[in-house]
């Protein structure tokens, strides 16, 4: 499975907020990673709708984590943002393949998907947050 850019940006945004431990802005995240602020705004919107970040408007506003980093499981984020994570269509849908009725591959792929998601759900945001020093060494994109 390869994650979409959207999920990648969401994970990076969460890591930024957890590493800094303070309220940030879409512009801060975009500048640090050299990503379009419009893309980060879309990501933040989804993360806010799912309860992972709070978006505060007005003077002194910005974005901040809505949960502690140790309460945010990577598997939940990936599953929420990716939607269909199936390796092949046949894993979730019947009658998409001529050999589906006797194919053992479907069961193998279904187990691989389960194992992957189970593992990702053992890892929290707190487990992957870079230190403030590490984050500080990133050279902001021009």
Domain boundaries, the chain: 1-72+125-142, 73-123
Nearest in space to 57 (alpha carbons), one of 43, 37, 41: 41
Cα–Cα nearest to 11, from 133, 128, 139, 142:
128
Q: Which of 81, 80, 98 is nearest to 89 (CA)?
A: 98
For 139, the token pair is 């050279």
Query: Is the domain defined by 1-72+125-142 classed in CATH 3.20.20.70?
Result: no
Where residue 108 falls among pLDDT bands split at 50, 70, 90? confident
pLDDT, position 87: 67
Radius of gyration of the chain measured on its C-alpha atoms: 18
- What do you get for the CA distance between the two ends of the chain, in Å? 31
- Residue 138: its pLDDT value, please? 63
Q: Which residues have C-beta within 8 Å of that of residue 123, sequence separation ≥ 6?
A: 73, 74, 75
Q: By the 8 A CB rule, do 116 and 1 touch?
A: yes
pTM score: 0.83
Give the integer Cα–Cα distance in Å for 127 and 142: 30
Contact in structure between 5 and 19 (CB atoms under 8 Å)? no
Tens of pLDDT, residue by residue over 30-58, are 999 999 999 999 999 999 999 999 999 88
For the beta carbon of residue 124, count every other beta carbon within 10 angstroms: 19
What is the share, in percent, of the chain residues with pLDDT greater than 70?
86
Going by pLDDT thresholds of 50, 70 and 90, the confidence category of residue 137 is low
**Does residue 55 sit in helix, strand or coil?**
strand
* Statement: residue 132 has pLDDT above 80: no
DSSP state of 129: P
């Amino acid at each position: 499975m390869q994650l979409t850019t959207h999920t990648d940006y969401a994970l990076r945004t969460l890591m930024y907020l957890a590493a800094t431990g303070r309220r940030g802005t879409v512009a801060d995240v975009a500048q640090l990673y050299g990503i379009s602020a419009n893309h980060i705004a879309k990501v933040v919107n989804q993360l806010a709708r799912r309860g992972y970040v709070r978006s505060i408007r007005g003077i002194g506003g910005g974005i901040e984590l809505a949960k502690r980093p140790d309460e945010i499981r990577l598997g939940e984020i990936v599953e929420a943002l990716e939607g269909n994570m199936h390796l092949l269509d046949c894993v979730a849908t019947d009658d998409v393949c001529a050999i589906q009725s006797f194919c053992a591959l479907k069961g193998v792929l279904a187990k691989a998907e389960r194992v992957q998601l189970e593992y990702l759900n053992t890892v929290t945001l707190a487990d992957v947050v870079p230190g403030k020093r590490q984050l500080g060494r990133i050279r902001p994109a021009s």
